Amino acid sequence: MKVEKIAFPQRFLWGAATAAFQVEGATGVDGRTDSIWDTFCRIPGAVVGGDNGEPAADHYRRFEQDVRMMADLGLGAYRFSIAWPRVRPDGGAVNQAGLDFYQRLVDTLLEHGIAPWPTLYHWDLPQKLEDAGGWAARDTAFRFADYAATAVEALGDRITTWTTMNEPWCSAFLGYAAGIHAPGRAEPEAAVAAVHHLLLGHGLAAEAIRAANSHTRVGITLNMYPIIPADPAAPGDQDVARRLDGLQQRIFLDPLFRGEYPADVVEDLEPFGFAANVRDGDLGVISAPIDMLGVNYYTEHYVSASPNGASSAASPWVGVDQLSFPRRDFPLTDMGWEVRPDGLTSVLLRLHEQYPRVPLYITENGAAFRDELDSDSAILDVDRTSYIESHLRAAHDAIEAGVDLRGYFCWSLLDNFEWAEGYAKRFGIVHVDYETQVRTPKMSARWFSQVARDNALVAVP
């Protein structure tokens, strides 16, 4: 039997990703104050099982063990987020104890030959800033830049790549429109204001990072999905797909890469006062060149003018997840998401063909499944392994088509607090027993380790 190796480009970066609130725990330790997620978790029914970010995966206390495990797995990079309420509690003065934790983490990563890839904002806005208006308030963008300057001043001599924001779509539309993520507001005017202020915060933070270290690479991470009309011949479905693609993708990509918001999206959002948030000079700040773009991908979305296929118009600000539905001919993850690896190829090709080219990295890709233990207590997560393999093949297809894809970060390194799903969903390639905090690499971790070491997939026809 012929065995074919599917090789990735030289120096392709292999890593795994986490987010501070999902893994760190220690939410009241060393000067950290509440984030919007601490507050949101206290709302009855907001999170499955009433779960919260304590102790999560206890990464704050166990990071040295976790870094050794990453090194054993042969990972070349670790994408983590810095907790704003640790570094500048309540959005105010600098907290040295919080900075010291990230100093230790970065130093330990470098000692083990692992590149640190920090994200400055993975959704944990200090609650005091939310009380002052949150991302719906323009001032929050400037407070974010202050925080970014603090982080890069402390860590920038050891870090070569910074990500400003993770998935601003989720922050704006799930947090301020749908109300199903922190801060739990269902206010369309606030949501569209948040879109612009998140992007402005990115641009201001990028300025601050480059002012502190001109040799540092700066980028942003967006969650991207093909958005496909359920009935391509139905005008209502076509229009919903256009509007949702505008809100999911183009409202972020166009200002970043073209220095303007899409005219059709601005028109759709006119009833909610979107344009009034944009001031002279803002788009120049937002569109300053970036050095890389992170892409988070999990599935495709099929959308209709209504969930039952009727042709009634959808609200122009509604979130994609509220209008998408699975089709029965594809396997589903434990989140109810279709396994659609071809969509990753489509997303990468779209960026390559329609926007100015910058290096791309898959900064999140993975799946929640129910883990199965064999008689030796090994965790045989066959479905997760298959999911990652199929998406790596899709990524390789994009590379073969000319896409400048330079790395892949699996989501997630550890089982963790999965936002509104609490601890009910497991994405980790490493199992975490939340009672004992024992870590157990799953089959997917061992398999992914070999891929990273070989810089290649093995294909058996």
Region for residue 65 given its phi and psi (left: phi exceeds 0; alpha: psi -120 to 50; beta: otherwise): alpha
Whether residue 126 contacts residue 180, with contact meaning beta carbons closer than 8 Å, is answered with: no
Residues 53 and 58: their CA atoms lie apart, in Å, by 9
220 to each of 261, 302, 344, how far by Cα in Å? 17, 26, 18
Whether residue 459 contacts residue 3, with contact meaning beta carbons closer than 8 Å, is answered with: yes
Neighbours of 355 (CB within 10 A): 15
For 307-389, strand residue ranges (E) read 360-364
- Known catalytic residue: 167? yes
Which is nearest to 85 in space by CA: 132, 36, 118, 40? 36
In total, the chain counts a number of residues equal to 461
Burial of 312 (0-12, 13-18, 19+ CB in 10 A): exposed
260 to each of 68, 197, 257, 284, how far by Cα in Å? 45, 14, 8, 9
**Among 24, 364, 389, 418, which one carries the catalytic annotation?**
364
- Known catalytic residue: 364? yes
Whether residue 222 contacts residue 293, with contact meaning beta carbons closer than 8 Å, is answered with: yes
**Among 167, 189, 338, 389, which one carries the catalytic annotation?**
167
Q: CA end-to-end span of the chain, whole Å?
A: 8
Which is nearest to 440 in space by CA: 405, 410, 414? 414
Whether residue 179 contacts residue 185, with contact meaning beta carbons closer than 8 Å, is answered with: yes
Helix, strand or coil for residue 38? helix
By annotation, the residues acting in catalysis are 167, 364
